[in-house]
């Protein structure tokens, strides 16, 4: 079993990992279940910094020395402009933390790292807020199994316009997303 350490980063520490984080993030969310999805690196960097600046983000990182194995980025739910108003209303008075991003480097998958990150995030949120929520691509089966295995319920679905890239051409496509919710 390799030596894998868990670190919790604030915005300052996150900068040390930023380039490795971006490389994993951009590849994970444009391949496999996210194939064809378009992400603009600069926009994503700005968005991520905004999570730390404006939404109390914290990032959990598994690493083997300097090699990034996995990360989970949690933030307050206010960051999520796609959360439908009726679902947001259900959280009122209870509070919620969002898992904004979660990715495991392919070579480190199926070793339980994602489950450990989710459970650490849930443990840290317990006593501070009433729910942990997350939005995934509806067709991303590994993510669905991960959240169901860790006590999350399917909370509802929506269809959102998503920028896609094919043969160098950008276009918009409607993509199904599912929210999962765990009551604490
Ligand atoms: C979804 C994702 C985060 C899962 O990461 P992971 O670290 O492989 O997750 P886990 O190891 O906790 O669980 C994955 C599987 O390995 C199994 N597993 C866990 N520990 C294991 C071990 N020691 N040996 C063998 N299998 C193991 C789990 O039971 C699970 O099986 P299942 O998918 O058939 O139910 C990863 O596939 C990923 O980064 N995908 C791309 C990005 C993405 O979809 N992110 C989530 C969006 S919110």
Segments making up each domain of the chain, as ranges: 5-183
In short, whether 111's Cβ falls inside 6 Å of ligand 1 is: yes
The pLDDT assigned to 4 comes to 84
pLDDT of residue 1: 43
110: Cβ below 6 Å to ligand 1? yes
CB 51 within 8 A of CB 68: no
- What is the SS3 assignment for 61-121? EEEECCEEEEEEEEEEHHHCCCCCHHHHHHHCCCCCEEEEEEEECHHHCCCCHHHHHHHHH
DSSP H or E stretch at residue 158: strand 153-166
Q: Ligand 1 mean position to 158 CA, how many Å?
A: 24
What's the pLDDT score for residue 106?
Answer: 96
Nearest to 13 by CA among 64, 44, 47, 52: 52
Q: Read off the DSSP letter of residue 129.
A: B
Mutate to test the pocket of ligand 1, among 102, 110, 115 (most ligand atoms within 8 A of CB): 110
Q: Give the pair of three-digit tokens for residue 142.
A: 């590994």
Query: In whole angstroms, what is the distance from residue 35 CA to residue 37 CA?
Result: 6
- In tens digits, the chain (184 residues) has pLDDT values of 456 898 999 999 999 999 999 999 999 999 999 999 999 999 999 999 999 999 999 999 999 999 999 999 999 999 999 999 999 999 999 999 999 999 999 999 999 999 999 999 999 999 999 999 999 999 999 999 999 999 999 999 999 999 999 999 999 999 999 999 999 9
Is residue 172 exposed (0-12), middle (13-18) or buried (19+ Cβ within 10 Å)?
A: exposed
C-beta of 143 in contact with ligand 1 (< 6 A): yes
d(CA 33, CA 22): 18
Supply the CATH classification number for the domain 5-183: 3.40.630.30
Give the helix/strand (H/E) hosting 83: none
């Amino acid at each position: 079993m390799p030596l894998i350490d868990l670190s919790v980063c604030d915005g300052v520490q996150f900068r040390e990992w930023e380039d490795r984080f971006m490389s994993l993030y951009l590849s994970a969310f444009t391949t496999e279940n996210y194939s064809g999805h378009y992400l603009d690196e600069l926009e994503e960097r700005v968005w991520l910094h905004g999570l730390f600046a404006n939404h109390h983000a914290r990032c959990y990182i598994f690493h083997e020395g300097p090699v990034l194995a996995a990360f989970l980025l949690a933030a307050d739910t206010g960051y999520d402009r796609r959360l439908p108003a009726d679902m947001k209303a259900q959280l009122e008075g209870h509070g919620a933390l969002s898992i904004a991003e979660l990715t495991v480097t392919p070579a480190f998958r199926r070793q339980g790292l994602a489950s450990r990150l989710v459970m650490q995030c849930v443990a840290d949120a317990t006593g501070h807020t009433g729910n942990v929520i997350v939005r995934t691509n509806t067709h991303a089966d590994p993510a669905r199994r991960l959240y169901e295995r860790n006590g999350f319920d399917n909370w509802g679905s929506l269809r959102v316009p998503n920028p896609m890239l094919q043969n160098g051409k950008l276009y918009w496509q409607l993509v199904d997303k599912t929210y999962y919710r765990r009551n604490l």
